[in-house]
């Protein structure tokens, strides 16, 4: 196929009055669709609400029953033989069409993310662009992998290598990137010829439902995937353990990921394969601030990484580890910069950040802040926040030691622990003092320290003199070490082979 070279989707500039007006119109269009019921299959309903205004219903979805979960896997298994033989060119075309449709409706997708996920305009724009990027990138990757591929030719033989789809996959996306990660995992599975069952997050099912409609419009056959909202407790284990489930693609918490891995490893009656688990499970990400760095740049990077989307990213900076020689100066600059972070409705583009996703998340984060207050010194934590909605003030707690809970445990909110290191060696050791290993960054002008970080800063995504969030498809293949998951490297050349299996064919001449 003749596909133009891949390029990342450009971001909309909302400082341009016409773009701002267009985004406001998109919010109005989407608000007119709120409260719809998306399926009528069961009487047990999942109701999605606006985290900035919990009284506002975003969408109503039927919860799948255990019987429906079993049937979804069986139907996907039955559809797999025919769909897997759909020519690669056709599947690639569907992925490209999905990208084109999301691009056409970019501002409307942004609006759904603002209203259901609580994202600010720039955060929503970045996510929608990433969804487009995943579709475009994986289409080109499938063109590369379609084959057959040459191998060493032995005398008297003709050999080749082909990549085959695996079978039925279960796709379990997170609530914090309900469009981009869902699109990436689903399109990766479909473009490689697998059939899938999608269990969206219960916090953000409406964004998933809109994407599912888009996949159908793009030409993916109805039998190639099933969109199955429901409680993880009711249907999650069933989907993972079904003997006809071939792989599970999961993004979410460590505890759920470990349970999926455990359940997937246990074969069931009738199962004839080892299930494959592709998991990204969170992080406790650190930024190392060296003694000779550009402190202003480091402060900007830490604030953006810690408080963008209220810290609700697996890549968010939750630990700043600062060289003792610049510790006090860094804290002074950090406190002043963080004080300018404004919290309010994500529909209003003048605010820096919005709510956290739910009342439960808010309670968990506030509990950690209470713990942090006993473990260190609060620098900031009294930002004005709206009375209505799931808001948490950006919080910085200094003088944290590595044994502290807020140094070790993932909080998933706008809480930053700052620690002092006597020297670079100690700082690097503190960075690596974690069960996680997803992202990290170092701000330094010392080439030896930067070289050392390249070797010994143990994360899947390392950034030098820039923030630790904002991975771009194609440029920053994304996935982490240790309890951060299987290092799947989404958005990179190693990702699609996780949804395929190699078949070597040799013919005697």
Number of residues that make up the chain: 509
Residue located via tokens 């939750």? 318
Among the listed residues 350, 320, 318, the one whose alpha carbon sits nearest the alpha carbon of residue 438: 318
What backbone torsions phi and psi does residue 254 show, to the nearest 5 degrees?
Answer: -60, -45
* Half-sphere exposure for 497 (CA within 13 Å, toward CB): 12
Strands 149-150 and 157-165, bridge-based pairing: antiparallel
**DSSP of 242-253:** -TTEEEEEEES-
What backbone torsions phi and psi does residue 246 show, to the nearest 5 degrees?
Answer: -95, -35
Q: At 179, list the tokens.
A: 């469009």
Tell me how far CA of residue 363 lies from CA of 91, 174, 204, 372, 398, in angstroms.
44, 19, 19, 14, 22
Q: At 432, list the tokens.
A: 């690596």
Active site residue 468: no
DSSP secondary structure code for residue 498 in this structure: G
List beta partners, residue 49: 57
Residue 403: other Cβ atoms inside 10 A: 9
Strands 168-172 and 157-165, bridge-based pairing: unpaired
List beta partners, residue 461: 439
Active site residue 157: no
* Catalytic option among 125, 203, 280, 410: 280
- 327-338 vs 295-307: helix crossing angle, rounded to 10: 50
Tell me how far CA of residue 293 lies from CA of 104, 109, 147, 296, 297, in angstroms.
42, 39, 48, 9, 8
* Catalytic option among 135, 293, 314, 468: 314
Among the listed residues 185, 164, 170, 166, the one whose alpha carbon sits nearest the alpha carbon of residue 242: 170
Q: Are 315 and 177 in contact (CB under 8 A)?
A: no
Strand order in the sheet with 157-165: 149-150, 157-165, 500-508
Three-state SS for 317? strand
Residues belonging to the active site:
280, 314
């Amino acid at each position: 196929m003749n596909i133009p070279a891949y390029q990342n989707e450009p971001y909309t500039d909302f400082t341009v009055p016409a773009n701002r007006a267009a985004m406001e119109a998109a919010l109005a269009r989407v608000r007119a669709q709120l409260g719809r019921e998306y399926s009528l299959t069961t009487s047990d309903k999942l109701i999605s609400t606006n985290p900035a205004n919990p009284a506002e219903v975003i969408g109503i979805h039927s919860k799948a029953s255990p019987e429906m979960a079993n049937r979804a896997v069986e139907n996907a298994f039955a559809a797999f033989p025919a769909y897997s033989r759909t020519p690669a060119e056709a599947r690639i075309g569907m992925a490209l069409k999905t990208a084109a449709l999301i691009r056409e409706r970019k501002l409307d997708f942004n609006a759904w993310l603002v209203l259901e996920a609580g994202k600010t305009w720039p955060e929503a724009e970045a996510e929608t662009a990433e969804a487009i990027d995943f579709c475009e990138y994986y289409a080109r990757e499938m063109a590369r992998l379609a084959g057959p591929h040459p191998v060493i030719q032995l005398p008297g033989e003709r050999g080749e290598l082909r990549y085959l789809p695996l079978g039925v996959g279960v796709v379990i996306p997170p609530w914090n990137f309900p469009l981009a990660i869902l699109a990436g995992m689903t399109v990766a599975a479909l473009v490689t010829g697998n059939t899938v069952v999608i269990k969206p997050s219960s916090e953000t099912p409406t964004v998933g439902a809109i994407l599912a409609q888009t996949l159908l419009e793009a030409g993916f056959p109805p039998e190639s995937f099933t969109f199955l909202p429901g409680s993880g407790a009711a249907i999650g284990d069933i989907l993972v353990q079904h003997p006809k489930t071939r792989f599970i693609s999961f993004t979410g918490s460590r505890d759920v990921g470990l349970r999926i891995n455990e359940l997937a490893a246990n074969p069931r009656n009738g199962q004839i394969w080892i299930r494959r688990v592709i998991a990204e499970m969170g992080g406790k990400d650190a930024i190392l601030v060296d003694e000779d760095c550009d402190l202003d740049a480091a402060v900007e990077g830490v604030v953006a990484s810690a408080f963008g989307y209220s810290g609700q990213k697996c890549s968010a900076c939750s630990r700043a580890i600062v060289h003792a020689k610049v510790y006090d100066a860094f804290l002074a600059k950090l406190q002043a910069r963080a004080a300018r972070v404004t919290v309010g409705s994500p529909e209003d583009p003048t605010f820096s950040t919005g709510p956290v996703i739910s009342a439960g998340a808010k309670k968990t984060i506030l509990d950690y802040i209470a713990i942090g207050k006993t473990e260190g010194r609060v620098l900031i934590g009294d930002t004005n926040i709206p009375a209505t909605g799931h808001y948490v003030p950006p919080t910085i707690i200094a003088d944290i030691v590595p044994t502290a809970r807020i140094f070790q445990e993932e909080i998933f909110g706008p809480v930053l622990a700052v620690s002092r290191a006597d020297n670079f060696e100690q700082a690097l050791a503190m960075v690596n003092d974690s069960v996680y290993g997803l992202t990290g960054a170092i701000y330094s002008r010392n080439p030896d320290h930067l070289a050392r970080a390249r070797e010994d800063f143990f994360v899947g995504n390392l950034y030098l003199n820039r923030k630790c969030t904002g991975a771009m498809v194609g440029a920053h293949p994304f996935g982490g070490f240790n309890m951060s998951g299987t290092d799947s490297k989404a958005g990179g050349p190693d990702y699609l082979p996780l949804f395929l299996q190699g078949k070597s064919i040799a013919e005697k001449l």
